[in-house]
A and B are shown apart, each in its own frame.
Chain A
Amino acid sequence: MRNIVITPLAPIRISVEAEILSPDIFAPLSMEQICGLDVWQGNRKKKISDLFRVVGDEGPAKPEETALRLEGDFSRVKRIAEGMTAGTVDVTGSVGMHAGNNMLGGKLSILGNADDWLGREMRGGSIIVEGNAGNYAGAGYRGERCGMRGGEIEIRGNAGAYLGEHLCGGNIRVAGDAGDFPGAANQGGTIFIGGSCHLPGAEMTKGTIIVNGKAKVLPGYQKLEIVTIGGEKYQKYAGDLVENGKGELFIQAGSS
């Protein structure tokens, strides 16, 4: 494994766009070349080494043999691990928006929280967040018909609103609560919510949403039988019928 550690030199105020923080970009480069990569802070183009200390094993290596370790607070650094196909990115703190954007493979682990649009339009690989995720985890871009299409997102804390909006595939697991409209316009993905949420599966046409806590159910859902999943009893619903949807929604029986 080629290990590379990246640490902010100072607290960051204006957010930094750093889509180059990915094993795919780092792997073929020497440490010197890596330090010369560009990031943007507002309208200023900077060298990665202007803002971060970058140390690690000399390259090149293959992406799958490359491990990035982001130490410190990256909550104002956006687009970490964008489009990564292999390798690992471990973040000891929190990350800014769009972490794991368009991710295709590999593993992104975040010990802190993730900001909005975690794993946007993700197609493969896995993301684990120990803390909370913001809005739009696993969702798509504005106006696009597909959000996440594949891969796994696991959020051990809570998720914000619009979780998995326009989900077209893949799995999202939230241990805590999700906000409003999880799985809106779901077209085939699976969402598990350990806690509660509001109006799940709006305009869902296909796919599955399981809610262990409470949830308000939309009027376009037809109440079906009580089913048992993993030893727990759930009220099953079919919908969203406003879109002639064939999605399945399960809410912990007796909680809605």
Chain B
Amino acid sequence: MRVEDAICSFCGCLCDDINVEVEENKVKRVRHACRLGSSKIMGHERIRSPMVRKDGELKEVSYQEAYERAAEILLAASKPLLYGWASTVCEAQKKGILLAEEVGGVLDSTATVCHGPSVIGIEEKGLPGATLGQVKNRADTIVFWGCNPAEAHPRHSLRYSSNACGRFTSEGRSAKKIIVVDVRETRTSKNADMQVIIQPGTDYEVISALRMLVAGKGDVVPEEVGGVAKKELASLAEMLLAAKFGAVFFGLGITHSRGRYKNIDNALSLVADLNSHTKFVIMPMRGHYNVGGIGQVLAWSSGYPMSVDFTRQAPYFNPGETAACDLLAKADTDAALIIAADPASNFPRKIVEELAKMPIIQIDPYENPTTLLADVVIPSAIAGVEAEGTAYRMDGLALRMRKLVNSSYPSDEQILDGILESVRSLRSSMSLRGGLKDDN
């Protein structure tokens, strides 16, 4: 069997032109996807069965038993953290939000360790963006700032940006100016017309200097900013101003260097300023395929796109206080449900140590270092391969992920439903026994 126009569930490009050959319910061949996408779709060794830690060891149990143990953990906690969500579909995210409301927890996504600062920047300035097709059809000038799509989003350039051809860009790469700003040379910068190497942690200053130059106030700008000569910055500003349609793509290089969300805040202003002269848009390079989705679903459900604290029954949002890292850094959470994420490998060591101290429920198709810390492990179907659902591309476009093969694993949504049911029945039996026991 062949599945045409399947959607790749690896990165935020959400390529939707993947052809997959399936034989005997196994993916045999993946076409059009990049290396990263293929290996995701092909899959690898799975967690076999639900497991619950007993006497220090993970023991195989039934799904029902795992759900019940998960419910016990969640209900015993004063401030459970429900974390992950970027590599699953919106249908599961919706269930997760309901679960967070019902158990009075804090729900946060992996955005907190990638584009969280971008979201805060957007809260300061708004986001002048576009769909990727708009960039493909119109952009003659493209800036990659602190991102390296050649490695992290391999098909971005051909499908949407530097090498894409569209209505007003029929000559493709040859008629475009590509600019890379980074702290070092990257594979992306090899394809660039201009490469600007800045000193680490100086993004904010460099952007301010560009804003001054764009506004014609270059005389105030010092001779060197962020290790870059004013002359070089001036020619960069000229290139930006000469664009008919410019697009800025930015990544973790700018969101996670000194200045954090202020860097994005300033970049958004640069783009707004540029629109007084020409047309410019800007967009974060989202990593996990549906990290955009959790932001959207959370926003329409709670009003906020990440780090939402439901402990007092009403959504409260304050990254710096309510993000997963903040809670763990302050030891201000007492249980965690981790879905489709691997904080044990992605968080700073001190935070992982904190995580290790509390009961953890893990929902994931694959074993990863977080599994070693988990008390309940619930294997799931791979969303976008074994389960259908909605995902939001890095530009906010919603697409429906196809199911490519059947699976005996329940979907993330079904698992969360199972836990939710267990939470409800446990809670009602507890209230029959005279209220929640406070064990804090």
B105, CB-defined interface residue at 8 Å: yes
* Given A142-B123, A180-B259, A184-B262: A42 and B205 interface contact (C-beta under 8 Å): no
A42: chain B residues within 8 A (beta carbon):
77-79, 104, 311, 334, 440
Main DSSP-derived SS at the A contact region: loop
B320: chain A residues within 8 A (beta carbon):
116-117, 135-136
| Shortest Cβ distance from B310 into A: residue | A43
Partner of B269, one of A14, A218, A242: A242
> How far in angstroms is the closest Cβ of chain A from B240?
15
| Shortest Cβ distance from B120 into A: residue | A142
* Given A43-B78, A242-B269: A142 and B208 interface contact (C-beta under 8 Å): no
The answer on a CB contact under 8 Å between B208 and A220 is yes
The answer on a CB contact under 8 Å between B319 and A43 is no
Number of interface residues of B (CB under 8 A): 44
| Shortest Cβ distance from A223 into B: residue | B220
> How far in angstroms is the closest Cβ of chain B from A74?
14
B318, CB-defined interface residue at 8 Å: yes
Stretch at the interface among B24-32, B157-165, B210-218, B278-286: B210-218
The answer on a CB contact under 8 Å between A219 and B205 is yes
The answer on a CB contact under 8 Å between A14 and B334 is yes
Complex Cα distance, B334 from A13, in Å, reads 9
The answer on a CB contact under 8 Å between B319 and A142 is yes
B17, CB-defined interface residue at 8 Å: no
> How far in angstroms is the closest Cβ of chain A from B277?
15
Interface residues on A, range: 20 to 34
> How far in angstroms is the closest Cβ of chain B from A164?
14
The answer on a CB contact under 8 Å between B78 and A242 is no
The answer on a CB contact under 8 Å between B78 and A97 is no
B204, CB-defined interface residue at 8 Å: yes
The answer on a CB contact under 8 Å between B262 and A44 is no
> How far in angstroms is the closest Cβ of chain B from A35?
18
The answer on a CB contact under 8 Å between B225 and A219 is yes
The answer on a CB contact under 8 Å between B212 and A241 is yes
How would residues 121 to 153 of chain A score, 1 for a CB under 8 Å from any chain B CB and 0 otherwise? 000000000000001100001110000000000
Complex Cα distance, B312 from A48, in Å, reads 16
The answer on a CB contact under 8 Å between B312 and A40 is yes
Complex Cα distance, B79 from A216, in Å, reads 41
Complex Cα distance, B215 from A167, in Å, reads 25
Interface of chain B residues 73 through 92 with chain A (CB within 8 A): 77-79
The answer on a CB contact under 8 Å between B205 and A199 is yes
The answer on a CB contact under 8 Å between A43 and B104 is yes
> How far in angstroms is the closest Cβ of chain B from A99?
13
A116: chain B residues within 8 A (beta carbon):
320-321
B258: chain A residues within 8 A (beta carbon):
180
A240: chain B residues within 8 A (beta carbon):
208
A222, CB-defined interface residue at 8 Å: yes
The answer on a CB contact under 8 Å between A14 and B440 is yes
> How far in angstroms is the closest Cβ of chain B from A241?
6
Partner of B312, one of A14, A43, A143: A43
The answer on a CB contact under 8 Å between A202 and B208 is yes
Complex Cα distance, B334 from A41, in Å, reads 12
A177, CB-defined interface residue at 8 Å: no
> How far in angstroms is the closest Cβ of chain A from B216?
11
The answer on a CB contact under 8 Å between A219 and B440 is no
A221, CB-defined interface residue at 8 Å: yes
Interface of chain B residues 203 through 241 with chain A (CB within 8 A): 204-205, 208-209, 211-212, 215, 217, 220-222, 225
Partner of A44, one of B204, B217, B269, B440: B440
A7, CB-defined interface residue at 8 Å: no
Partner of A43, one of B79, B209, B330: B79
Complex Cα distance, B212 from A241, in Å, reads 7
> How far in angstroms is the closest Cβ of chain B from A101?
11
B124, CB-defined interface residue at 8 Å: yes
The answer on a CB contact under 8 Å between A202 and B204 is yes
B409, CB-defined interface residue at 8 Å: no
The answer on a CB contact under 8 Å between A142 and B262 is no
The answer on a CB contact under 8 Å between A13 and B212 is no
B436: chain A residues within 8 A (beta carbon):
44
Q: Which of A141, A142, A180, A199 has the most CB of B within 10 A?
A: A142
| Shortest Cβ distance from A136 into B: residue | B320
B103: chain A residues within 8 A (beta carbon):
43
Complex Cα distance, B205 from A221, in Å, reads 11
A17: chain B residues within 8 A (beta carbon):
312
> How far in angstroms is the closest Cβ of chain A from B400?
31
The answer on a CB contact under 8 Å between A181 and B262 is yes
Complex Cα distance, B104 from A72, in Å, reads 29
- Not counting A43-B104, A141-B318, A219-B221, a sample of 7 additional A-B residue pairs whose C-beta atoms are within 8 angstroms of each other reads A14-B334, A42-B311, A117-B321, A142-B123, A202-B208, A203-B266, A216-B205
Residues on A facing B (Cβ under 8 Å)? 13-15, 17, 40-44, 76, 97, 116-117, 135-136, 141-143, 180-181, 184, 199, 202-203, 216, 218-222, 240-242
The 5 closest A-B pairs by CB, nearest first: A43-B104, A42-B78, A42-B79, A143-B123, A219-B209
What are 15 pairs between A and B in contact, CB < 8 Å?
A13-B331, A14-B333, A42-B77, A42-B104, A43-B79, A44-B436, A116-B321, A142-B319, A202-B262, A203-B266, A219-B208, A219-B222, A240-B208, A241-B212, A242-B273
Residues on B facing A (Cβ under 8 Å)? 77-79, 103-105, 120, 123-124, 204-205, 208-209, 211-212, 215, 217, 220-222, 225, 258-259, 262, 266, 269, 273, 310-313, 317-321, 330-334, 436, 438, 440
